[in-house]
Amino acid sequence: MSQVLQIGVIGTGNIGTAHARSLSHEVSGAEVAWLFDADASRAADLAAELGAQLAPTVEDLVVSSDAVVIASPDAMHAEQALLCLAAHRPTLCEKPLAPTVEEATTVVDAEVDLGRRLISLGFMRRFDPGYMALKSGIPAVGRPLVVHNVHRNTAAPYGLETALTLTNSAIHEFDINRWLLDDEYTSVQVITGEPGPRTPDGELDPLLVVLTTRGGALVEIEVFMNAWYGYEVRCEVVASDGTLDMGDGSYITRRASRQIGHDVPELWLGRFEDAYRRQLQAWVDATHLGKTSGATAWDGLVATISANAAVAAIGNGAVRIDIPDRPALYA
């Protein structure tokens, strides 16, 4: 492996471009060497900007690179992650690991067969200073009883489909809450109300998701994909001896013109910029040491199992979440 990791990025849309720029300009120990996108012109523009080369196929990119970032659409993640595992390439795979439990399981099975962890999952909230402070603060407030979460998007980024809301967007919540609590879910309920004004016929938005955990905590999540006013993520932990409130993660409060307030970002890139950069640096550092960082393929599978149970729960009351035994590779 080179001293400076030669990274290949698959998919140069919103997040692939942001990761490639961050790897090139903000992260040490790596450079973007190869790009592939199904839309070659999009990848060509970014390649010219960053001085990277265009790979003719995903397979070529994988074998030419020291390590790979997968930032293609959800449906491609499992197939491309399997290619990376077959070539023994450390990989940062964007969330979700896969939209379906079956596909996500094939990746975990392949990694277990390999006997070596190579996949890191792009659950970047684990690197967000707000969430990290929440997690480290929990012991001081006692046993978590309830977690209240708000997940609002300005507009549904890939069109509003209720199942996609759960498997693509709320999947961040499924991951971060089990990470925060160090606990596993046992059931999920999805409560629906009158759809908001920008909800297509037959779809549901906003949703309330309520999860129970083995440790007895309640996790409640408002997911509102077409909230319009801006992008906002909030989290409050109610524990036996106190509460912790992350607020909306903005660190600057402005007082001016007899008003008090702060900006609301339009996109996740604004809110989680720091987390994405920290995630990439941690992944590059871990790759140099032959390790993974942050969430694993196993975490990706558990999040996909939880999200699909939530899809099954729509209109059906509480649905059990059955998490299989964790393979020793992920102990």
Ligand X SMILES: NC(=O)c1ccc[n+]([C@@H]2O[C@H](COP(=O)([O-])OP(=O)(O)OC[C@H]3O[C@@H](n4cnc5c(N)ncnc54)[C@H](O)[C@@H]3O)[C@@H](O)[C@H]2O)c1
Residue 12 sits in the site that holds ligand X (CB under 6 A): yes
What distance in Å separates the CA atoms of residue 82 and residue 291, rounded to the nearest whole number? 18
Query: Cβ of 133: how many Cβ atoms within 10 Å?
Result: 11
Question: Which of 56, 23, 234, 238 minimizes the C-alpha distance to 146?
Answer: 238
What distance in Å separates the CA atoms of residue 83 and residue 59, rounded to the nearest whole number? 7
Using DSSP, state whether 196 is helix, strand or coil.
Answer: coil
The footprint of ligand X on this chain (CB under 6 A) covers a number of residues equal to 25
Q: Which two tokens stand for residue 246?
A: 């992350």
Kindly write out the interface string for residues 164-203 of this chain, putting x where it contacts ligand X by CB under 6 A and - elsewhere.
----x-----------------------------------
Q: How far is CA 141 from CA 145, 147, 239, 249, in A?
A: 11, 13, 6, 20
Kindly write out the interface string for residues 229-268 of this chain, putting x where it contacts ligand X by CB under 6 A and - elsewhere.
---------------------------------------x
Binding residue (CB under 6 A) for ligand X from 16, 195, 265, 294: 16
Binding segment toward ligand X, per CB under 6 A, in 14-22, 134-142, 188-196, 284-292: 14-22
CB of 58: closest distance to ligand X in angstroms?
A: 6
Binding to ligand X, residues 62-91 (CB under 6 A): 71-74, 76
Residue 56 sits in the site that holds ligand X (CB under 6 A): no
Binding to ligand X, residues 106-145 (CB under 6 A): 122, 124
What's the chain's length in residues?
A: 331
Of residues 9 and 217, the one with the C-beta less far from ligand X: 9
Q: Which two tokens stand for residue 244?
A: 């912790």
Question: Which of 324, 301, 321 minimizes the C-alpha distance to 311?
Answer: 321
Q: Which residue is nearest to ligand X (CB)?
A: 13
Of residues 11 and 195, the one with the C-beta less far from ligand X: 11
Beta bridge partners of 237: 147, 244
Contact between 151 and 170 (Cβ < 8 Å) = yes
CB of 115: closest distance to ligand X in angstroms?
A: 27
Footprint of ligand X (CB under 6 A): 10-16, 36-39, 42, 58, 71-74, 76, 94-95, 122, 124, 157, 168, 268
